[in-house]
Structure 1
Amino acid sequence: MRQASTTLTIATSGRGLTEITRDVAAWLTEGGIQEGLLTLLCRHTSASLLIQENAAREVRTDLMAWLERLAPEGDGYLHDDEGPDDMPAHLRATLTGVTLQIPVLDGQMRLGTWQGIYLAEHRRRPHRREVAMHWIGE
């Protein structure tokens, strides 16, 4: 049994989805990883991770609009230490989650044909986000 870990840093341009599938796949390839389980953890409370369609851009646009409707700014939140987008960002991260687990077989993540891994930035301004990656297997 082997293990490997690293941290991926992503510069976001503000609210939206940033695909990180290629970055994660490159790390697996560089490490010679063949089979096992990959765990990803977004190390923030106002950003999140998700697996979503990577073909039609409209899916990602609609998803972000839906999250904004579920957790709108200016809704009377008590927590607004970093501005009006602070608490809505926490709520959106709660809805989408901060961890993913993905099986790896034959050196590749077993994602579906149209699936990609995304970092969701829920704040308006750009940030540098970290995703901790850990693999265990053979």
Structure 2
Amino acid sequence: MPIINKLIEIETQPKINIHNITPQIQDLIASTSIINGQVLVFSRHTTTALAINEYEERLLEDIKVYLQKLAPESDRYLHNDLHLRENIPPDEPMNAHSHLMAMTLSTSEVIPIVDGKLGLGTYQSVLFFELDGPRKRTVFCQISGE
């Protein structure tokens, strides 16, 4: 059974933003010979996440508000005491809230491949969550099957 590893690169915007990466994943699958199998999609950063949900503008705004209520940027966090931490880069942001939001979501999704296409439902999309932008991010995709 072949296993193919690919990366998706994403340039994100400031603060929380949500990207529909379904088309990029489908393009990766189309570039392989895999007809039936699965794709593992993995977020490679501690302040990003993945989810399968509907990509609808008003829902995306609701999700952002929900995440900000779970971990408000203005709350006090020990991780943000940069002067008490060791070996931090000079451009280290105060981003504890972003780490906490990422923990409430997921770092990976496994999606079936059926007849060369993602086996998603009608309103499902693979969503990439930037929680601490702007940054250059990568998503790891491992495609396997026959």
Q: TM-score range by the shorter chain?
A: over 0.9
Identity %, equivalent residues: 30
User: Can you give the 5+ residue segments of structure 2 that lack an aligned partner in the other structure?
Assistant: 83-91
- The one-letter code of the counterpart of 1:108 is K
- Structure 1 CA distance, aligned partners of 2:93 and 2:4? 38
- Structure 2 CA distance, aligned partners of 1:32 and 1:22? 17
- Structure 1 CA distance, aligned partners of 2:140 and 2:118? 16
1:25 is aligned to 2:26: yes
CA RMSD in angstroms, aligned pairs only: 1.1
CA displacement at 1:3 relative to structure 2: 1.1
State the SS of the aligned residue for 1:9. Answer: strand
Q: Equivalent residue for 1:100? A: 109
Q: Equivalent residue for 2:121? A: 112
Answer with 1 or 2: which has the greater Rg.
2
Paired residues, what number?
A: 135
- The one-letter code of the counterpart of 1:116 is S
State the SS of the aligned residue for 2:39. Answer: strand
1:45 is aligned to 2:55: no
User: Can you give the 5+ residue segments of structure 1 that lack an aligned partner in the other structure?
Assistant: none
TM-score by length of 1: 0.93
CA displacement at 1:127 relative to structure 2: 0.6
TM-score by length of 2: 0.88
Runs of 4+ in 1 over 4 A off after TM superposition: none
1:77 is aligned to 2:87: no
